[in-house]
Chains A and B, each alone.
Chain A
Amino acid sequence: GEDVEQSLFLSVREGDSSVINCTYTDSSSTYLYWYKQEPGAGLQLLTYIFSNMDMKQDQRLTVLLNKKDKHLSLRIADTQTGDSAIYFCAVGDEIKAAGNKLTFGGGTRVLVKP
């Protein structure tokens, strides 16, 4: 089955850029997502990219996809203390009638230091 890997922890200074990395194994993954989980809360979709794209930018967020290496990254520009959270990478199969099943990575805990 699909395997999605992330590093466990990232520490950055406020105002710097953060880069969170994710690797996956299934080359047929079509939908690739980044979710954010703040303490005590559920997951919130941050952004997503389709496998026919290499890059997507949304305000402070930039997603890069390297399909050859099966590597996905999320860059947060000008990181703020409110960005401290756990970030999950998730990948999905082709849309099936049964819905969009996702495989999640283990999550990267980002700590932003003032």
Chain B
Amino acid sequence: DVKVTQSSRYLVKRTGEKVFLECVQDMDHENMFWYRQDPGLGLRLIYFSYDVKMKEKGDIPEGYSVSREKKERFSLILESASTNQTSMYLCASCVIGSEQYFGPGTRLTVT
């Protein structure tokens, strides 16, 4: 079974803090994705990576950066968290042309 894990289920941070969200997959998938999920807006793609050290901006990359130093790990970084980044963050991975497998999500609250 494919397993995608995220480092935290719930996270509370203060405005201006640097925040790291970690995602690990155990199926040697080339592609990894970070989405945010907000009510009524569905999932919006922040960044994705199709190989180690490779990254592409998604639809809403502003305020975020990513790091993929190892194939199994994809990190989302909020350099200076703001209240409008309070959201559910979902990580996914897949091989090229296949379905995406999702982690359980991290609910981030920025106060």
Residues of chain A touching chain B, judged by Cβ–Cβ distance below 8 Å, are 1, 4, 6, 8, 33, 35, 40-45, 48, 88, 90, 95, 97-102, 104-107
Contacts and interface: CB of A to CB of B under 8 A. Distances in A.
User: Sorted from nearest, which 8 A-B pairs have the closest CB atoms?
Assistant: A99-B31, A42-B102, A104-B43, A104-B42, A106-B42, A43-B102, A95-B97, A45-B99
Chain B contact patch, size range: 20 to 34
A35 B105 CA distance: 15
Given A98-B50, A99-B48, 10 more contacts: A4-B42, A42-B4, A43-B43, A95-B97, A98-B56, A100-B31, A101-B58, A104-B43, A106-B40, A107-B42
Contacts of B43: 43, 88, 90, 104
A88 B50 CA distance: 24
Interface string B61-97: 0000000000000000000000000000010101011
Given A1-B59, A88-B43, A42 B97 contact: no
B100 interface: yes
B40 A48 contact: no
Contacts of B44: 104
A43 B42 contact: no
Nearest to B4: A42
Interface string B17-54: 00000000000001100010000111111001010000
Contacts of A40: 104
Contact of B104 (A42, A104, A105): A42
**Residue among A88, A90, A106 with most chain B CB within 10 A:** A106
A7 B4 CA distance: 29
Contacts of B42: 4, 6, 88, 104-107
14 contacts: A8-B40, A42-B102, A43-B100, A43-B102, A95-B96, A98-B31, A98-B56, A100-B31, A100-B94, A100-B98, A104-B43, A105-B42, A106-B40, A107-B42
